[in-house]
Structure 1
Amino acid sequence: MTDSGQQTPAAEPLEVLACPDPVAAFFEAHRTDRLLALRTSGTTSTPRVIVRTTASWVDSLPRVSELTGIDATSRVWVPGPVTATMNLFAAVHAHWAGAELSAEPDGATHAHVTPSTLARLLAQEPASLHGLHVITAGDRLTRSTHRDAVAAGVTVSHYYGAAELSFVAWGEHADALRPFPGVEIEARDGELWVRSPYLCLGYLDPAHRLHRDAAGWVSVGDRGTAGPEGVHVHGRDGAITTAGATVRISDIEAVLHPEATGEVVVLGLDHAELGQVVAAAVTRQQDVAHLQQVSRQVLTAAQQPRRWVHLARLPLTAGGKIDRAAVAVEVARSLS
């Protein structure tokens, strides 16, 4: 039994990412009505193996085609590893739509990348992206990166989701998200809850429980707001305890992100007297003075970053997401 209370088929869930051809294995599992076992990225918590039906992905495929224009005439570039669920989904969708997968951006019509990868490509080789429709996910896509992409002749779509939830919200960038078709979203005490046909069934390990209520709403702990003005995602709950006060990283980043022209990562640094101090790493040096002013005006004294560090490029995980642990190492090294 999964933690949703639904009976699983007799066959064990297929670890599709361990198959020689994960895309072909996915469609064979769909044909035989077999469940999938997919490992989460583990960028904000210990990796877990989730269980989902193939239909929970397949039912969203027509919606993705409507939003992206991907069809049998498209060529789709997916440079990230297929071991990341967002990249596997992109390859599955391309196959379903009859599109061709491209090994490089030249000649491609669409691309699936993380926001950090998009920012790097725009800085290094913007001409290679001209004319592409780029779909980004996995991290927050800032207004500034979106503006840079549009200026380079790129059409941009951005979505928020999770391995457990699949698609949740869609828009041009992180500050323009609306619920994905067929998805209901609500915020309860600052935590986002989701109900949709695209949710997973639960975790493979019975010791792990998905946060699911009796009405079918699920949360993975992301902080944010949802309402007529749109969906705003602040990130997973993470805390810094400084001088006896506990502050949420997501609350601080929610204030700084919209004011920055580059990327911002907030973290806690060890301190001999205070326990930890709040620090912020930015990718654009010119953001520091403005963000310091915003911090003084909006944040409490405990929330205000006491250390500001400029990193020309934020380290990324193998899946193209910001590697917060590596950021902390680089920030500490730069301050030592």
Structure 2
Amino acid sequence: MPVAPQVLRHAAARPHALALRGPSGSLSYGELAARVQGAARTLLATRDRRGSLGGSKVLAVTLADPVEVLVAALAADLAGVTPLLCDPSWDAARRERILEAVPVDGRLDAPLAETPGAPIVPRPAPDDRVWACFSSGSTGRPRAVVRTRASWAGSFPHVDRLAGVTSADTVLVPGPLVSSLFGFAAVHALAAGAAALVPGRWQPAALAGHLREATVAHLVPHALPALLEAMPGGPLRTVLVGGASLPAGSRAAAERAGLRVLAYYGATELSFVAVDVDGTGLRAFPEVDIEVRGRPLGEVWARSPWLSEGYLADGAGPLRVDERGWMSVGDVAEPYDGPDDGPADSRADSGAGDRADDGAESGAGGRADGRAGGGVLRVRGRGDGAIQTGGATVVPEDVEAVLREAPGVRDVVVVGSPHPVLGSVVTAVVEGRPARDELEAVARAGLDPAQRPRLWYAMPALPRTPAGKPARGQVSALAATGDPALRKLA
């Protein structure tokens, strides 16, 4: 975790201030710093005895308690070790299969013992590899993405300005830290000197209790309606929502409740790409250049200081890097006009992206206020999830955005089902208890004929990733096998 130096500074200045609250208890900044120092000394002693840890070595952290995860990750930062966060919900066999593909130098299955001794003085460097976590998007085999200190910590001042987070805040992080979204939220809160509430997993029933003290919450889009239902009129003022698409209705409901909404788009591999601070659309995050290559839908490419170093052990995945330092994970978007240049396609063809002035002040990237200085980025989803049906290309996210407005729909995933003539047909799997005639009425009103689902299923709860996003790959497999968990809508 790239914030051990900041945590130690906060501990020296405000030792009794709350740092973390999790399922098993709370730690003040003074208590957190003492535990981190002791655990870091243990890691260093292990390295000295066995030579198996230290430097840029990787420590797999398989702990379930989010407070213990953060203690271990901070200790690793102080000791010069890269923590690799593993999903605690994996069974032993799956964990072994995954870690075989990502060689590690040590594993942490229990909280670190604390070794007494002299304080360790941090010696941070921008290119330290300080964090690694798994990403599979919504499908596929998890891949371990590694980040440098600068690629995370350098963006903190921009997030502070956009979201207004200070040491006086209490930040709710209602998801597993193995998700880069929630991991970043916890790290950023500690860097700011705020208190982080880290329950470890999404628990709608516990929201009301958390919201009695949280002033800021960091969420995925589907969680915002549940949070609004649970609000007891507490101090919450700001919600940060990470995802390519926040429904306008959800934003409007949050604003009616008196909340400021900051929505952003990015990826585990890319970090922040674009941000929407006022509901007018996603614009380039500060210091980010964006290109959309191709028409009528093209791939989103980004260049910024916030990009990851890629996958550990050169693992395979959707991340691609071109010779000019631009990265893409295959998300698709409508054509995009940059801040001061012509269409992005012409910039890519002309090589204009090679200019030396990469910073936000040059006009090449997003501005610090997130409002002016660029066109709106309209992300349409992951390119490899597009459905080819009868010669038409259907982007599932476009269909899902319309169907979520239907009565009785809590959430929906759209996938392709094989068809002998059309190639695939659009299939909707709905969470909730909708009526098919109402779904079809909404589809006819808001979708082109090729986009309208031919097959309709319902289930009480969609399978989800650790971050709380619908697990598209699992839903597709359920639909393909006719799993009894799905109820076909007649």
* 2:455 corresponding residue in structure 1: 307
Question: Identity of aligned pairs, percent?
Answer: 37
Counterpart Cα distance in 2 of 1:45 and 1:326: 9
Deviating beyond 6 angstroms after TM superposition, the runs of 4 or more aligned structure 1 residues are: none
Counterpart Cα distance in 2 of 1:83 and 1:93: 15
* 2:262 corresponding residue in structure 1: 157
Structure 1 pair 66–122 and aligned structure 2 pair: CA distance change class (3 A): same
Question: Given the alignment of the two structures, is residue 24 of structure 1 paired with residue 74 of structure 2, yes or no?
Answer: yes
Structure 1 pair 53–18 and aligned structure 2 pair: CA distance change class (3 A): farther
Question: Superposition pairs for residues 188-199 of structure 1, below 5 Å?
Answer: 188-189=293-294, 190-199=298-307
Q: Give the letter for the 1:24 counterpart.
A: L
Structure 1 pair 168–17 and aligned structure 2 pair: CA distance change class (3 A): farther
- Gapped regions of structure 2 (runs ≥ 5): 1-53, 64-68, 81-121, 199-209, 338-373
| Contact map agreement 2:458 2:488 (CA 8 A) in 1 | no
Question: Given the alignment of the two structures, is residue 253 of structure 1 paired with residue 397 of structure 2, yes or no?
Answer: yes
Deviations 1:217-268 (A, max 9, x none): 110100013334411111112143445x4634x2x53366268536543211
Counterpart Cα distance in 2 of 1:26 and 1:281: 42
Alpha-carbon distance, 1:164 to partner: 0.7
Cα RMSD over matched residues?
3.2
Deviations 1:97-143 (A, max 9, x none): 110113522111101111112223334x2436773311111453111
* 1:202 corresponding residue in structure 2: 310
* 1:211 corresponding residue in structure 2: 320
Counterpart Cα distance in 2 of 1:99 and 1:224: 36
The answer to which of 98-107 and 262-271 deviates more is: 262-271
Question: Given the alignment of the two structures, is residue 240 of structure 1 paired with residue 346 of structure 2, yes or no?
Answer: no
Alpha-carbon distance, 1:290 to partner: 2.9
Counterpart Cα distance in 2 of 1:242 and 1:258: 19
Question: Given the alignment of the two structures, is residue 82 of structure 1 paired with residue 132 of structure 2, yes or no?
Answer: no
Which residue among 227, 233, 253 is the counterpart of 1:121? 227
Counterpart Cα distance in 2 of 1:116 and 1:278: 22
Give SS of 1:146's match.
helix
Question: Given the alignment of the two structures, is residue 187 of structure 1 paired with residue 292 of structure 2, yes or no?
Answer: yes
Alpha-carbon distance, 1:271 to partner: 4.6
Give SS of 2:314's match.
coil
Give SS of 1:106's match.
coil
Counterpart Cα distance in 2 of 1:279 and 1:232: 24
* 1:4 corresponding residue in structure 2: none
Counterpart Cα distance in 1 of 2:332 and 2:261: 24
Which residue among 400, 407, 414 is the counterpart of 1:266? 414
Deviations 1:160-218 (A, max 9, x none): 11111111111148871111111011100110000000001222122537411121111
| Contact map agreement 1:16 1:26 (CA 8 A) in 2 | no
Counterpart Cα distance in 1 of 2:328 and 2:313: 18
Aligned pair count reads: 319
The answer to which of 233-242 and 216-225 deviates more is: 233-242
Structure 1 pair 22–247 and aligned structure 2 pair: CA distance change class (3 A): farther
TM-score, with normalisation over the residues of structure 1? 0.82
Counterpart Cα distance in 2 of 1:259 and 1:175: 22
Question: Looking at both structures, which has the greater relative contact order when contacts are Cα pairs under 8 Å and sequence separation is at least 6?
Answer: 1
Question: Superposition pairs for residues 286-301 of structure 1, below 5 Å?
Answer: 288-295=440-447, 299=448, 301=449
Alpha-carbon distance, 1:90 to partner: 0.8
| Contact map agreement 1:41 1:84 (CA 8 A) in 2 | no
The answer to which of 261-270 and 21-30 deviates more is: 21-30
| Contact map agreement 1:174 1:233 (CA 8 A) in 2 | no
| Contact map agreement 1:139 1:322 (CA 8 A) in 2 | no
Q: Give the letter for the 2:132 counterpart.
A: A
* 2:330 corresponding residue in structure 1: 221
Higher gyration radius (CA)? 2
Structure 1 pair 42–192 and aligned structure 2 pair: CA distance change class (3 A): closer
Q: Give the letter for the 2:302 counterpart.
A: V
Question: Given the alignment of the two structures, is residue 280 of structure 1 paired with residue 389 of structure 2, yes or no?
Answer: no
| Contact map agreement 2:387 2:416 (CA 8 A) in 1 | yes
TM-score, with normalisation over the residues of structure 2? 0.58
- Gapped regions of structure 1 (runs ≥ 5): 1-9
Q: Give the letter for the 2:333 counterpart.
A: G
